[in-house]
Amino acid sequence: MDLAILAGIDTGRENFDYEMSELAALTEAAEIKPDLTIIQKLDKPVTATYFGSGKLTEIKEAASATEAEFLIMNDELTPTQLRNCEDQTGLTVIDRTALILQIFARRAQTREAKLQVQIASLQYRLPRLRTSSLNRFDQQTAGSGGGFTSRGAGETKMELNRRTIQDQITHLRRQLKEVEAEEKTKRKSRDRSNLKTVALVGYTNAGKSTTMNHLLSLTGQDPDKQVLEKNMLFATLDTSVRHLEFDDHKQILLSDTVGFVSRLPHQLVEAFKTTLAEAAQADLLVQVVDVSDPHAKQMVKTTEETLEEIGVRGIPMIYAFNKADLTPGLRYPEIAGDQITFSARDEESIKLLSQMIKKTVFADFVTRTYLIPFDQGKFLEQLNSNATIQKTDYTAEGTLITAEVSPATAGIMQRFEFETSK
């Protein structure tokens, strides 16, 4: 496996250690082995070279001692910084944005995700065309050799490249629009069904897909409806929506979507906005958190900042502290206010989570008793298939039935309401 030196500038911000450990995880996710980490304390990066020149020499020396090929930076670098760092270290520089884009490019499965990632990658490359070694890293590039030394010819070629890339972006955007329009139609037809929607959100690898799969099993869904769960960053890039019906007839649409990481590249956020809109339209968000991770608190913060960035605001949220089984001594499943401590792999936990979800999302449901005459059988059928029936009695006048119903159903059924003597 290729080796890399990880590097970052510590400006004294509180989350720096967390960012560096995240960078190591991202590097592994791109199938590169982090070899050593070099950090410089500075108020801010050096404008032209990112690191100070002494540090760059240190990196170069470390590289020749370890045979590292890549230099992975914790920040997004300007095109100039990128080029200078490459020139002065002889390493292929990958900044944080390029690293995340690379992982996304590997993971994208559906046409929609592939288009989104391609657009984001091209946008990232547009101002960086001169940086030739970047092309070695990015497989989509037709290699253009070792930089543009002869200025005249280089410029022309670059202009050409720039235009080609811009055309490509336009073309891909058009395709994406079409695909998104199809998805939107699907979403609309779901909207019409008027079901409550619940979205699983959270940091990557927190266990969103595992939670989804176990909720699916609990409600007896086909095993082939399951989504991919895997111990790697960004296992999920596509939004999957599943219809769940609990044994009390309550139904929801549950969606699983891409996980977050701190400072998700804006090109990606932009490209994924439509997909992420799924979360924006939910009645309830379930934020899944890996409670066994020492950085859990920052991960919650990261998730909340990202949600804010994509415009998801004011939606009720359940905090679902997952992987409790990995923390010795932690009691689970347990609910406290809007928080649940649980393990997605534990059946009792999933049951409790499903109850909590229902309680929150169906808070506006009401319990009513109806007397339905025998010749109004279709209303009885409607109740039986849409509502949670608590009690049924057969009287001389008709069926006396107590049920928990949605406000809409309560409206329709009002005329059958049975006055209980109080």
Interacting partner of 45 out of Mg ion, ligand GTP, none (Cβ under 5 to 8 A depending on kind): none
Give the closest residue to 121 by CA, choosing from 265, 238, 257: 265
Percentages of the chain per state (helix, strand, coil), in multiples of 5? 50, 20, 30
Q: Which of 322, 341, 386, 409 binds ligand GTP (CB under 6 A)?
A: 322
Query: Annotated binding residue at 207?
Result: yes
Rule CB under 6 A: say whether 233 interacts with ligand GTP: yes
Q: How far apart are CA 322 and CA 150, in angstroms?
A: 57
Give the closest residue to 310 by CA, choosing from 290, 288, 281, 339: 281
> Which residue is at the shortest CB distance from ligand GTP?
259
Rule CB under 6 A: say whether 214 interacts with ligand GTP: no
Token pair recorded at residue 250? 């309550």
Which ranges in 130-207 belong to alpha helices (H)? 132-137, 151-192
Binding site for Mg ion (CB under 5 A): 208-209, 235-236
Give the length of the chain: 422
Window 343-372: residues binding ligand GTP (CB under 6 A): 343-345
Q: Which of 35, 112, 180, 229 binds ligand GTP (CB under 6 A)?
A: 229
Rule CB under 6 A: say whether 208 interacts with ligand GTP: yes
Query: Annotated binding residue at 231?
Result: no
Q: What sign does the dihedral 87-17-329-335 (CA atoms) show?
A: negative
CB-based contacts of 203, cutoff 8 Å, min separation 6: 259, 260, 261, 288, 289, 290, 299, 300, 302, 303
Rule CB under 6 A: say whether 340 interacts with ligand GTP: no
Tell me the closest approach of the beta carbon of residue 339 to ligand GTP, in angstroms.
Answer: 15
Token pair recorded at residue 113? 């995700």
| Closer by beta carbon to ligand GTP, 132 or else 275 | 275
The single-letter DSSP state of residue 268 is: H
Query: Annotated binding residue at 80?
Result: no
Query: Annotated binding residue at 113?
Result: no
| Closer by beta carbon to ligand GTP, 269 or else 412 | 269
Rule CB under 6 A: say whether 75 interacts with ligand GTP: no
Query: Annotated binding residue at 323?
Result: yes
Interacting partner of 239 out of ligand GTP, Mg ion, none (Cβ under 5 to 8 A depending on kind): none
Tell me the closest approach of the beta carbon of residue 21 to ligand GTP, in angstroms.
Answer: 17
Give the number of other CB atoms < 10 A from CB of residue 143. Answer: 11
Rule CB under 6 A: say whether 235 interacts with ligand GTP: yes
Q: Which of 325, 360, 376, 418 binds ligand GTP (CB under 6 A)?
A: 325
Give the closest residue to 237 by CA, choosing from 101, 97, 74, 95: 101
Strands 334-336 and 339-341, by their bridges, are antiparallel
Binding site for ligand GTP (CB under 6 A): 204-210, 229-231, 233-236, 259, 288, 322-323, 325-326, 343-345
The binding site for GTP consists of: 202-209, 234-238, 256-259, 322-325, 343-345
The binding site consists of: 202-209, 234-238, 256-259, 322-325, 343-345
The binding site for Mg(2+) consists of: 209, 236
